[in-house]
Amino acid sequence: MLVRRVPGFVPASPWGLRLPQKFLFLLFLSGLVTLCFGALFLLPHSSRLKRFFSASRTQQPGLEVMAEIAGQHPVSEQEPPPNPAPAAPAPGEDDPGRAVNVLRRKGWLRRTRPTGPREEGNSVAAPRPLEESVRFSFDYNAFRSRLRHPVLGTRTDESKESQSLVRAQREKVKEMMRFAWQNYRRYAMGKNELRPLTKDGYEGSMFGGLSGATIIDSLDTLYLMELKEEFQEAKAWVQDSFHLNVSGEASLFEVNIRYIGGLLSAFYLTGEEVFRVKAIKLGEKLLPAFNTPTGIPKGIVNFKSGTWGWATAGSSSILAEFGSLHLEFLHLTELSGNPVFAEKVKNIRKVLREIDKPFGLYPNFLSPVSGNWVQHHVSVGGLGDSFYEYLIKSWLMSAKTDTEAKNMYYEALEAIETYLVNVSPGGLTYIAEWRGGILDHKMGHLACFSGGMIALGAEDAKEDKKAHYRELAAQITRTCHESYARSDTKLGPEAFWFNSGREAVATQLSESYYILRPEVVESYMYLWRQTHDPIYREWGWEVVMALEKHCRTEAGFSGIQDVYSSNPNHDNRQQSFFLAETLKYLYLLFSEDNMLSPEDWVFNTEAHPLPVNHSDSSSMTGHRH
């Protein structure tokens, strides 16, 4: 308060001073204040005092920690963008950016704990980060030492005749990935997706101005397939061109599973610090979506205002969206030391655990204001799917300590089997949709992931249920294969019905399209790993051949508009999830089981591998009961 009062008018009467005396007193006092403040900014080790006195606004909890992860200090929102990166920056160079929302690269971000000797760059050496200011570190070497299998698995004797066909099939999938990537790089680099017919890029509005969705979705697939040159191209783009200073409205769900998931996976596979820091910074930008009366997030977040999207101000939140944050947000806390991410998803879990559920089922829509279900529509396909997936995967990712997730999963699966699972007159097992007690006898392509999910969870079911769930998983996967086999293209429709004597086929053109979706081959991969029944590799190869025949174009892969046409039209979109999921699951189907071993990794719903928590000291054990 003294600083504010001194420049003001001081009345003479209380002190009885004359004008010359007052002038001398004020002059002395001003000099004293200047000396004191100068000492604060000039004395050694005063950086924390400087941040305190020069802060232009109130910072959110944890943001200073985030800013220091890369060995940097928070800076003003008004700081101009940094200059382009030098050709060969030195590892350890600081990455100045905006304090909260933007992290732009000026040089290589150093690892908190380097895994090898420090390299020398060609540019002028950057200032050494203030290591004493780093409040949290992630020991990457210790993490890698806890993995029980090599990330890329072990190689079998390739001279064996039985392996030669599988190796050729795997190499074919790798060639498809290279082709998809090279055309994206040539015609759409930096855009969200490639349009192969018009040979240009597509941005869309789903990501709030974020770019490069295909790049970030492809990082771990390129690494897994050992496409080293292509991976370096992708990494360089993230370092140089992936900026977070965007101001649009974004889907919380899509940004989380594609961008956050892709960056987290890339960090865990490589240890490159740039992926970790950008994942955390982007995660911070999603936090305003949780500012609701219940803590259930809205589906849309406005990156500019930090509020909900205006379009969803009165709408419900979708189960599959707010229920598919748990894996990524626990890892954001693991890598940042900031508990806020884990706290947000723990609260979602609490709300869902305590709310009444009709017949044990989880409806698809919930009010983030009242915390009540909005309507009783239940689906294991779109709107509900990945919520159930994240329950069983939370159990597995916790090294089987999150018993709450395990119990919620098996209770939900029992209700699904009781009320939704049906068998058609032709003997096909399917999962119907439930609308207030009335069944729609259809199954979406998105629901075909459930065969793999049920197979994945069968191992930890009650002893008398294990074989039953394995058989259920196999029967559902067979039904989804039939939806492919009964089309002219041998690719499956968006949705298929079981009525009027027609089974596993779409009944209208609006449901007959195929957009390079992965769910069916995802289930093939899980069933192959569990049973080693060669039928799953045969079915997977049928998909490869169908993709090559009907979806490959001169400049990339495209979805098709009608799977029942022998000469279908293309939709001119190479979806980013085709590179993240479809091709990755096909590659794993023709690889050894310990490549990304399930003992070490779980896949998020965009097929980005996240590590199982093998450390008792980890913050990810927060759900033990």
Annotated binding site for Ca(2+): 605
Other Cβ atoms less than 10 A from the Cβ of 370: the count is 11
- Measured over the CA atoms of residue 498, residue 501, residue 505 and residue 507, the dihedral's sign is negative
- Token couple for 362: 């989880």
Active site annotation includes 542: no
* Residue burial 146-172, b: 16+ Cβ < 10 Å; e: rest: ebebebbbeeeeeeeeeeeebeebbeb
Cα 435 from Cα 380, distance rounded (Å): 12
Cα 22 from Cα 28, distance rounded (Å): 10
For the beta sheet containing 307-308, the strands, ordered from the edge strand earlier in sequence to the opposite edge, are 249-251, 300-302, 307-308
Coil, strand, or helix at residue 96? coil
Q: Which of 64, 93, 220, 385 is an active site residue? A: 385
Cα 556 from Cα 571, distance rounded (Å): 12
User: Scanning the structure block, which residue is given the tokens 């700081």?
Assistant: 79
Q: Which of 519, 562, 581, 592 is an active site residue? A: 519
* Residue burial 498-527, b: 16+ Cβ < 10 Å; e: rest: beeeebbbbeeeebbbbbbbbbbbbbbbbb
Active site annotation includes 385: yes
- Inter-CA distances, 571 with 422, 505, 553, 558, 561, Å: 33, 20, 11, 6, 6
User: Scanning the structure block, which residue is given the tokens 């009165």?
Assistant: 314
Active site annotation includes 494: yes
Type and span of the H or E element at 538: helix 535-546
Cα 289 from Cα 318, distance rounded (Å): 13
Binding-site residue set? 605
User: Scanning the structure block, which residue is given the tokens 């009366």?
Assistant: 293
Q: Which of 494, 503, 600, 606 is an active site residue? A: 494
* 111 CA to centre of own chain: 22
Q: Which of 93, 220, 254, 503 is an active site residue? A: 254
Q: What angle do CA 180, 263, 126 make, to 5 degrees?
A: 110
In the chain, the amino acid numbered 38 is G
Type and span of the H or E element at 307: strand 307-308
Phi, psi at residue 113, to the nearest 5°?
-130, 105
Cα 412 from Cα 405, distance rounded (Å): 11
Give the active site residues: 254, 385, 494, 519
